[in-house]
Structure 1
Amino acid sequence: MYRIRLWMLLVVSLVLVLAACSAASEESTEQSGMDKATAEDSSKTENVAITEGSSENEENPSQVINRMVIYNAELSIEVKDFQESMTQIEAKAAKYGGYIVESNTYQDVEEIYSGTIIARVPQDKFQAFLNDTEGLAVKVHNRTVNGEDITEEYIDLESRLKSKRVVEERLLEFMKQAEKTEDLLKISNDLANVQGEIEQILGRMKYLENQSAFSTITISLSEDKIASPKVDNKDLNTWERTKNQFITSLHYLLSLASGLVVLVIGNIPILLLLLVLGIPIFLYTRKSWRSKRGDDK
């Protein structure tokens, strides 16, 4: 009897021990699975974060912004032959894919030519065209190059354009959903204003694109010549000058004769008065002079 109880106690103890070991094993397995799942989730999260960060880096910092710069230059030169140099500059502008905007030519009294020509060439050909044109000069008086960076303005215009596009789309949606005439009219007015602003932004962007794509060069040319005096045959027209002088002298004589006639006829009353007063005086003086002469004899 005692042995039977002892064996039963041993069996129960063994069962409890096995049950405890089994529970510990399951708990360990479950904890291991949870840790593995947590590790996998953490790994996935890190991978997603790395991927998103890499994507952002590819879209923003890694992008190289092409600077938009408007280049202008002024060149003042002396050339040996003005007309030939103007022709060569026009040919060079066409060679580099540019064009002539304005051309002016002047000639002074000494027949020396000067002028101005304004050319626009692609920005990547700007320096080449400028140096090539400078090679035509006998003497360079001035060379000025300046640039204006318009990158920030262009980016700002792009941002404003995107915002206006969004507003335009919303207004178009509101217009489709509008039921009242008043609402429809108000939305139409707002839409027209937004579309007008969009056109202005697009116009400014196209202008900046054109100005940055082509550079402007203003070239002032003067001819390197010494003026030689020339005889003008018109200044040696002797017969014409003699005829003019004769007419001038005749005009003076006629003026003098006319003046004398006016003087005499116009002053007849005064002349008659002087004559009336002068005759008695003359006769008296003459008689006195004769009497004095007779006494002397």
Structure 2
Amino acid sequence: MKKNRTLILLLSFLLLLSIFITACASQDSKAPTLPDYGNEYPGSPAPEPEEAPVDPETPVNPADPSLPEKIIKNAEMTLLSTDPNKTKSDIENKAKSLGGRVSDFSQQNNTYTYVQMTVEVPSDKLDVFLRQINDSGVKVESQSVESENVSDTYYDTETRLGTTRDLLDHYRELLGEARNVEETLQVQSRIDQLTLELESLQARLNRLDALTTNSRVYIEIYQEQDPLLERPSELEPLSWEHVKYFITTGFSRLGTVLLLVAQYLFIGITVGFPIILLIVLIILIIYFVNKRKRRKRLAADAAASAAETRE
């Protein structure tokens, strides 16, 4: 009896030992998993399922009406000019005076000159820039302005950028709490994905900033034939357009010629002043010397006449 009891206790001990060893082996062989952080961090899913990258075509949330509007505003112009190069320089100077610049330029010189240029000006100065061109006297063949409100897209991208940045900071903190290599690799993979999403969102926001801050004006300048260069037939009378152009342009060019003559005359006098002064001095010296000789000769002749009279 005692022997049977000892055998039963021994079997019971072996059974308990085997259960304990099996449980330990099962716990050691179980794959380590990260806790589900979906409920602990707003908007963050568990590390296991991968989030799809932000798709630009994804519907965006309406922007807060109290926020400033973000509007892309561009314009196109077609101009006619008798001197396209001068018109191009005038447009460039106007853009610079408003804080803008010429970002693209091309020119073709065949029978007529053709200029194509892209001008960037601050969006709030676009209307002023267009008005200055219209008031400059150049002929505006066509003009159009297009605008697009991207406020929803801009502020939605800005919100996603902030959320992604906070989520990335959260996973970087988790990286320091990883318990083994596998957890470290999982968290690092998630950090790499979030970093790519962050860079993509930042590039998109920068692009929207550039498009809404500056307006682009696409300008084409065609050369208009100068009526003065057209030779009407001798048997045909001048058209009123020719007469009007000859009168207005003639006075303008005559005034320009007279002004140029006066300017060059002033420059010539200023540059040659020492030589002119020397020549004047020489002439004065010769004049006074001849005058003195003449007086002496007259005095001698008078003395000789007086002597003859006394004799």
TM-score bracket, normalised by the shorter chain, equals 0.5 to 0.7
CA contact (8 A) 1:98 1:120 kept: yes
The answer to whether 1:212 aligns with 2:204 is no
Aligned to 1:78: 80
Aligned partners of 2:107 and 2:133: how far apart in 1?
18
Q: How does 1:175-194 map to 2 (within 5 A)?
A: 175-194=175-194
- How far apart are residue 192 of structure 1 and its match? 0.9
Look up the SS of the partner of 1:102 in the other structure: strand
Look up the SS of the partner of 2:176 in the other structure: helix
Aligned to 2:222: 222
Aligned to 1:45: none
Aligned to 1:106: 108
Look up the SS of the partner of 1:97 in the other structure: coil
Q: How does 1:128-277 map to 2 (within 5 A)?
A: 128-226=128-226
CA contact (8 A) 1:78 1:137 kept: no
Which amino acid letter does the alignment assign opposite residue 107 of structure 2? T
- How far apart are residue 161 of structure 1 and its match? 1.3
Aligned partners of 2:139 and 2:100: how far apart in 1?
25
Q: If you compute each CA radius of gyration, which structure gives the higher value, 1 or 2?
A: 1
Aligned to 2:120: 120
The alpha-carbon distance between structure 1 residues 166 and 86, as it changes in their structure 2 partners (threshold 3 A), is: same
Aligned partners of 1:62 and 1:203: how far apart in 2?
22
Residue identity (%): 23
- How far apart are residue 135 of structure 1 and its match? 2.7
Look up the SS of the partner of 2:154 in the other structure: helix
Which amino acid letter does the alignment assign opposite residue 208 of structure 1? L
**CA offsets, 1:33-53, max 9 Å, x none?**
xxxxxxxxxxxxxxxxxxxxx
Look up the SS of the partner of 1:161 in the other structure: helix
Which amino acid letter does the alignment assign opposite residue 209 of structure 1? D
Aligned partners of 2:64 and 2:156: how far apart in 1?
20
Aligned to 1:5: none
Aligned partners of 2:82 and 2:75: how far apart in 1?
22
Look up the SS of the partner of 2:145 in the other structure: strand
- How far apart are residue 63 of structure 1 and its match? 7.7
Aligned to 2:97: 95
Aligned partners of 1:105 and 1:187: how far apart in 2?
56
Look up the SS of the partner of 1:67 in the other structure: coil
- How far apart are residue 228 of structure 1 and its match? 5.1
Look up the SS of the partner of 1:164 in the other structure: helix
CA contact (8 A) 1:79 1:136 kept: no
Which amino acid letter does the alignment assign opposite residue 107 of structure 1? N
CA contact (8 A) 1:79 1:137 kept: no
Which amino acid letter does the alignment assign opposite residue 162 of structure 1? G
Aligned partners of 1:140 and 1:86: how far apart in 2?
14
Root mean square deviation of aligned Cα: 2.0
Look up the SS of the partner of 1:104 in the other structure: strand
Q: Which 5+ residue runs of structure 1 have no aligned equivalent?
A: 1-60, 230-297
* Aligned pairs, number: 167
Look up the SS of the partner of 1:177 in the other structure: coil
Which amino acid letter does the alignment assign opposite residue 75 of structure 1? M
Normalised by the size of structure 2, how large is the TM-score? 0.51
Aligned partners of 2:142 and 2:88: how far apart in 1?
18
Aligned partners of 1:134 and 1:192: how far apart in 2?
53
Which amino acid letter does the alignment assign opposite residue 219 of structure 1? I
Q: Identify the structure with the greater helix proportion.
A: 1
CA contact (8 A) 1:73 1:143 kept: yes
My pick for the range that moved more, 165-174 or 146-155, is 165-174
Normalised by the size of structure 1, how large is the TM-score? 0.53
Which amino acid letter does the alignment assign opposite residue 178 of structure 2? A
